[in-house]
């Protein structure tokens, strides 16, 4: 069986990314190279990757679709996110048609992210 252990979000400023995600997740994370900062998200690493700072010859590009995070206290994360420099953020937390209570945002680099309340996570099968 395969498991996901790392997800990369490309960023154009590793220090800004470390500050943004550190404040959002309420954890410091770990700088692992000049252009990579890791955050442990329940056994899967969110790797903020600044290609130029890591010596690569290309610019950062945002992910094409959302990365979903499950959280116990959605309202607290939403309040923190509203106070940060998100490019976009939903005006309010919503219950989606499939039953998840969530909000969508874009980080300062354009990466789409979503936060879902833990007790409402839907992983397929019968609709809740």
For the chain, the domains span 6-120
Tell me the CATH class for 6-120.
alpha beta
Alpha carbons 97 and 19: distance in angstroms, whole number: 33
Least Cα distance to 116 among 102, 99, 95 occurs for 102
Which DSSP string do the residues of 22-86 spell out, in sequence order?
HHHHTS--EEEETTEEEEEETTEEEEEE-TTTTT-SS-----SS-EEEEES-HHHHHHHHHTTT-
pTM reported for the whole predicted model: 0.94
Please, are residues 14 and 36 in contact by the beta-carbon 8 Å criterion? yes
One digit per residue, pLDDT tens: the chain, 128 residues? 999 999 999 999 999 999 999 999 999 999 999 999 999 999 999 999 999 999 999 999 999 999 999 999 999 999 999 999 999 999 999 999 999 999 999 999 999 999 999 999 999 987 65
How far out from the chain centre does Cα 23 lie?
12
Residues 6+ positions from 25 with CB-CB distance below 8 Å: 39, 41
């Amino acid at each position: 069986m395969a498991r996901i252990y790392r997800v990369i979000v490309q960023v154009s400023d590793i220090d800004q990314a470390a500050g943004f995600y550190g404040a959002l997740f309420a954890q410091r994370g770990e700088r692992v190279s000049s252009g990579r900062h890791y955050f442990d998200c329940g056994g899967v690493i969110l790797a903020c990757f600044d290609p130029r700072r890591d010596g690569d010859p290309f610019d950062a590009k945002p992910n094409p679709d959302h990365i979903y995070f499950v959280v116990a206290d959605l309202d607290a994360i939403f309040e923190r996110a509203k106070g940060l420099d998100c490019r976009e953020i939903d005006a309010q937390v919503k219950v989606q048609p499939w039953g998840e209570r969530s909000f969508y945002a874009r980080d300062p680099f354009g990466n789409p992210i979503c936060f879902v309340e833990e007790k409402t996570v839907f992983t397929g099968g019968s609709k809740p």
